Amino acid sequence: MTPLRPPRIDLRSDTFTLPTPAMREAMTSAPLGDDVFGEDPTVNELEALAAATMGKEAALFVTSGTQGNLVSLLAHCGRGDEVIAGDAAHTYIYEQGGSAALGGIHPRVLPTQPDGSLRLQDIAAAIRDENVHFPVSRLVCLENTHNRCGGTYLTPAYTASVVELAHAHGLKVHIDGARIFNAAVAQQVDVKALVGEADSITFCLSKGLSAPVGSVVCGSEEFIYRARRARKVLGGGLRQAGVLAAAGRVALTEMVDRLAEDHANARLLAEGIAGLPGVRLDMDTVQTNMVIFTLNHPTLKVGDLVTALRGQEVGVLAADPRRIRAVTHYGIERGHIEEAIAVFGRLLGA
Ligand code: TLP
């Protein structure tokens, strides 16, 4: 098998970011211990920093965004409980239905709006009354920024209104905030305002923030205790995880503000390709570090264009059979975007 080689201009995802020199340095010198026993000082430090950053009591370092969402759902819900989520949510589409498969949690999906939100009236209508026939409505799950909607963000006011509605009916709220810092930087608000009174949040260190591995779940002490138990049964109890947490600490302290560059580059890319033959791109969706467009070209299908771009050292992903996604991140400079726009232009016959 030919070994896989990444494209030089890799816009497939911000998960492809490599650790910074400061992260590598921090990883080699981090004090370590056994984290299953709570004795890794670097993990403890990262968790305390993450909790304070999100305005929550406690935090838990986990291996990935998928694991963070799963342990959160397992900590909030029991078997037969129901989670209300969008039909385009990452937790619903891309996480193997883990909460149903492993936790017996029933998904109740609502139409995801083009901006990534769920309509308040849809949520209200989905909350079930007490009835022997029904599952128990337990949790609402939001996603900020929204992956399949093209990196659109939710505002503090919207999130607060969902939390208010959910809490009034005794439901909890979890935020899949894999890219919550992109949402904060784009809106120039403190990330705490985006989390507000939501009961839990997962955010990723290994996407735009460029750490090699890891995500963090934040919530109350009591919630994090249950999430920690769920992580252990999933085999996610790591030992000297401080080597990873050290990079995560650098991610949180040094890599947030520069996300604005990624947003400017995404905008540049979107403006550069929006007028090309076959490209249908709604500029209103280009709010953070993603560009998603529909391809309706006379000769090229999505798969053809993805392959042809790859042949010219530009990596993108098919979001679905009709749409292509490009993501900007650390390591992608303005010059790369200009090159990518030129390649798009040549291939689409502009
Ligand atoms: N998303 C990945 C892959 O699914 C394709 C990507 O490249 O965008 N929540 C959201 C909103 C996400 O976008 C992702 C990753 C996750 C959760 C899961 O994170 P990981 O990959 O760390 O399990």
Residue-level pLDDT at 1:
65
Q: Which of 63, 181, 207 to mutate to test the pocket of ligand 1 (most atoms within 8 A of CB)?
A: 207
Mode of pairing for the β-strands spanning 106-110 and 290-295 = unpaired
Name the domain count of the chain: 2
Same domain for 288 and 179: no
- Residue owning the nearest CA to atom 16 of ligand 1: 65
- Name the pairing type of β-strands 215-219 and 200-204: antiparallel
216 and 229 fall within a common domain: yes
Pocket test for ligand 1, best of 204, 206, 323, 325 (most atoms within 8 A of CB): 204
Instruction: Tell me how far the alpha carbon of residue 263 lies from the centroid of ligand 1, in angstroms.
Output: 18
pLDDT at 3: 67
Among residues 221, 237, 192, which one has the least CA distance to residue 67?
A: 237
Question: What residues of the chain score a pLDDT lower than 70?
Answer: 1-3
**Confidence (pLDDT) at 4:** 83
Among candidate residues 253, 284, 306, the one where a domain is terminated: 253
> Looking at the domain assignment, is residue 63 inside a domain?
yes
186: phi then psi, degrees, rounded to nearest 5 = -65, -35
What CATH number is associated with residue 310? 3.90.1150.10
How many angstroms does the Cα of residue 94 sit away from the middle of ligand 1?
8
| Residue located nearest, by CA, to atom 3 of ligand 1 | 94
For residue 2 the two structure tokens come to 């030919």
User: Rounded to the nearest whole angstrom, what is the distance from the C-alpha of residue 180 to the centroid of ligand 1?
Assistant: 12
Cα(246) to ligand 1 centroid in Å equals: 21
Residue 3 within any structural domain of the chain:
no
Let me know if residue 247 belongs to a domain: yes
Pocket test for ligand 1, best of 12, 15, 17, 244 (most atoms within 8 A of CB): 15
**Which atom in ligand 1 lies closest to the alpha carbon of residue 176?**
9
Kindly list the protein residues whose Cβ atom lies closer than 6 A to any atom of ligand 1. 13, 15, 64-66, 90, 94, 143, 147, 176, 178, 204, 215
Pocket of ligand 1, candidates 10, 11, 90: which has the most ligand atoms within 8 Å of its Cβ, to mutate?
A: 90
65 C-alpha to center of ligand 1: Å?
Answer: 6
* 3-state secondary structure (DSSP) of residue 282: coil
pLDDT single digits (tens) 215-245: 999 999 999 999 999 999 999 999 999 999 9
178 C-alpha vs ligand 1 centroid, how far in Å? 7
CATH assignment of the domain containing 185: 3.40.640.10
Alpha carbon of 277 to ligand 1 centroid (Å): 30
On whether the CB atoms of residues 108 and 125 are closer than 8 A, the answer is no
- Which structural domain, as residue segments, surrounds residue 323? 9-15+258-348
> 162 with 305, same domain?
no
- Closest residue to atom 18 of ligand 1, CA basis: 65
In a domain, 303, yes or no: yes
Same domain, 202 and 319: no
Statement to judge: residues 214 and 320 lie in one domain: no
Predicted confidence at residue 349, as pLDDT, reads 86
Nearest CA residue ID for atom 4, ligand 1: 94
Q: Is the domain of 179 the same as that of 271?
A: no
Atom of ligand 1 nearest to the CA of 15: 7
Q: Which of 234, 253, 272 is where one domain is finished?
A: 253
Residues 180 and 290 in one domain: no
Taking the CA atoms of the chain, what radius of gyration do you get in angstroms?
Answer: 20
**What DSSP string runs through 298-345?**
SS--HHHHHHHHHHTTEE-EEEETTEEEEE--TT--HHHHHHHHHHHH
- The closest alpha carbon to 149, from 287, 1, 260, 30, belongs to 287
CA dihedral angle for residue 272, residue 115, residue 64, residue 141, rounded to 10 degrees: 180
168: CA distance to ligand 1 center in Å?
30
